[in-house]
Structures are given as C-alpha cells and as structure tokens.
Amino acid sequence: MKLATIVTLGILLLGACASLNAQPAATSQVVLAYMNEKVPPSATLPGFDGLCLIYYTLVGDLDLNSLFAGSLFGGLMGQPTVDRAHAYFIWASDYSAQYLTQNDAFTSFLITEGTATIYYSSTPEQRRFDLPTDRSSWGQPVATFVRKAGMFQSTDGGTTGTFASTALLVSSKPFQLNGKTFDFKNLVPYGMTCFETGVGDYEAGTCIAIGGK
C-alpha cells in the first residue's frame, strides 16, 4: 500500500474517532428516549404552571457510560447508575397549560409554545433543583429549542394521558464527551418530535428526528 494511501486512511480514522454521531439521524428515526423523577415545586420559575425536567436514557448510539455516571455506593464497579442524579444530560422546559375541552371520554389540554434547553454536566451529582432562578449547577447549555405547542389528552381529567410536541433546534454547541466531540446539531439538525405518556407526576417518552424543509 502506498504511503499516501496509508496517511489518508489514518486521517480519516482520526476524524471518525474525534467525533460522535457525525451523520444526522434519518427522518423519523428514534434518536432520544427519556424518563423523569418528581420535580420539587420550587424548581418551577414564577409565571409558569410547571417544569418539564427529564433525563435521557437514549441519545443516538451513545452507550450508557456516555449517558450516566457511576455511583460510589451500590451497583457493580464501573457500571453507570441510571437515574436523574447521575444523568449527564437533562432537558428543562418551563411550561404553561390551558384546559381546552372534553367529551364523554377525553379531556384535552393545550401546552403552549415555549423554550427548552439540554444541559450537559460531567458532575451531575452536584446539580441543585431547589433554586429556580439559579440553574448554573445544571451544567453547560449545549442545545436550545423552540418547543412548539402540543396537546395533552387524558381519559381521567388530566391525571394520566399522552402528549406530543415538536421541538425545533435553535442552536447548539460542540462539547467534549469521553474525549470526543459531540454536537446535537449532528444528531437532530432540525429538531425532533416527542411522544410521551404521563402518570401523575411521572412521564416517559421517545423522540424522533424531523426532516428539513
């Protein structure tokens, strides 16, 4: 093999190893999955009805060690602890809800348009959620979205139900993750549509990539 070919291959391999998820997800590909834990009321900013605060259990093809930190207590050595306290990524979006209508089976609530931020922290255990106007401990804002209006539909007056909404990517910035560069615009360059189920204070869902114009 010629030296020039070897050098070229080396450069290509280094480029592949230097970044994660270099190719955008295909339209309608599942790219994210999430859950939440109960949010203290004090975490919600004044003027909003609540705070959607979730952590990701799936981000592209990242492994669990790229999503969660390990715990010093319990579990197997070197294994990540899958919960909010150890999640490197969280999504935060303050929201307002409006009752719309109901029939004999369903009640519908409008979740109005808002903004959302994905935060990354390499030390997630240091986050604090009891200071709503000071979110500096939540980590580095690595992606911001416009969360379009969505509909929450319930069969029991709002205690449980389903919700769907589209989030358009507004900005993102690259950051280091396990020694490699990650950027959400390489995963969801246009944004995503998310589908979730809520039960009381808890929710879980998945998001699919959306295509461009």
The H or E element spanning position 107 is strand 107-111
The continuous run of DSSP H or E covering 12 comes out as: helix 3-18
Tokens representing 162 are: 């389903």
- The number of domains in the chain is 1
In sequence order, what are the residues at sequence separation of 6 or more whose Cβ sits closer than 8 angstroms to the Cβ of residue 123? Answer: 69
CA 161-165-169 angle, 5° bins: 150
Lowest model confidence (mean pLDDT) among 70-79, 84-93, 141-150, 164-173: 70-79
Give the pLDDT confidence score for residue 75 in this predicted structure. Answer: 52
Residue 20: what pLDDT? 56
- Domain encompassing residue 101: 3-209
Q: What confidence score (pLDDT) does residue 9 get? A: 34
Q: Is the pLDDT of residue 71 over 60?
A: yes
Residue with tokens 């919600």: 44
Instruction: Report whether 24 contacts 192 (CB < 8 A).
Output: no
Q: 137 or 9, which is more confident?
A: 137
Q: Could you report the per-residue pLDDT of 149-208, keeping only the tens digit for each?
A: 999 999 999 999 999 999 999 999 999 998 899 999 999 999 999 999 999 999 999 999
CB contact set of 48 (below 8 Å; sequence gap of 6+): 94, 95, 96
Residue 25, pLDDT score:
87
pLDDT at residue 73, rounded to an integer:
58
* Rounded alpha-carbon distances, angstroms, from residue 57 to 24, 31, 137: 19, 11, 21
Alpha-carbon separation of residue 172 from 47, 118, 132, 144, 153 (angstroms): 27, 9, 23, 6, 31
pLDDT confidence of residue 100 = 95
At 133 the pLDDT is 79
pLDDT, tens digit (0-9, with 9 covering 90-100), for 33-64: 999 999 888 788 888 999 999 999 999 999 99
Amino acid of residue 135? R
Tell me how far apart the alpha carbons of residues 61 and 67 are, in angstroms, rounded to a whole number. Answer: 11
pLDDT-derived band at 132 (thresholds 50, 70, 90) equals confident
Q: Which of the pair, 132 or 41, is modelled with greater confidence?
A: 41
Q: Look up residue 167 and give its two tokens.
A: 């989030």
Each residue's pLDDT tens digit, 134-152: 899 999 999 999 999 999 9
Q: Is the pLDDT of residue 1 over 50?
A: no
Q: What is the pLDDT of residue 7?
A: 34
**∠181-187-193 over CA atoms, to 5°?**
145
CB < 8 Å & 24+ apart, contacts of 99-103: 102/157
List all residues 6 or more positions away from 92 whose beta carbon is below 8 Å from its beta carbon. 51, 52, 53, 116, 117, 119, 135, 138
For position 72, what pLDDT does the model report?
A: 59
Give dist(CA 89, CA 95) in Å, integer: 19
- The pLDDT of residue 105 is 97
